[in-house]
Amino acid sequence: MALLQKLAHNGHTVICSIHTPSAKIFQKFDHVFVITTGQCIYRGSASNLVTYLQSVHIECPRHYNLADFVIEISSGEHDFDLTERMIACMEMKAPILQVYRSKQDFELERKNYQRQLCFDHSSILMHKMMLQLCRNRDHLYLKIYLYVFLGFIIGGTFYDMGYDGSKSIYNLGFCFTTVLIFLYIPTLPILLWCKNNYDTFATLNECN
């Protein structure tokens, strides 16, 4: 339930149908919709339910689960008059109205949501990457050493080649080598990590 609440607070729409929740879980709902015989008897926040019951002259017993009490009312275990009273109160105080929005407003809201969603995904991936670097810095150090070492090697190999017109083919070789380095160097620590884990798993299997 905590995960669903976190998703809802991050901008996702979460609809949950639940029966006889505990008091702790019931308080996690931002918006509660209670129905009986196809009609709404309460629509609002979970924290405002006690105030609403008092407004229709219904008292929840002390030390009683509020969710259980509302479910008992909706199922008619107490008195059908209470249910009718709550239905009439909801129709008068908070009727369900249709909401009309223009196409421009809908498109603007959709674009803003997609932009926010992209930012959230990027921040989550960045946070995950920083955690991985902090937990295992060997990969980062290995990349730095490889880039510095290969930088000296390639720089020394192709040094001063661009000034000689007869060696223009070396410029193409330099570009090709640089692309290969930037493509394969980031994957090298991952391959080494997989190799080490494979050896560890193989040793464990032999022990078993």
pTM: 0.42
pLDDT band at residue 9 under the 50/70/90 scheme: confident
Helix (H) or strand (E) holding 183: helix 169-184
Q: Judge whether residue 194 has pLDDT over 80.
A: no
Query: Based on the number of CB atoms within 10 Å of its own CB, is 53 exposed (0-12), middle (13-18) or buried (19 or more)?
Result: buried
Average pLDDT, the chain: 76
| Interval 98-152: pLDDT, tens | 666 666 776 777 777 677 777 777 888 888 878 877 777 777 787 788 888 878 8
State the pLDDT confidence band at 174, using cuts at 50, 70 and 90: confident
| Element spanning 32, H or E | strand 32-36
**How is residue 57 written in tokens?**
């002259």
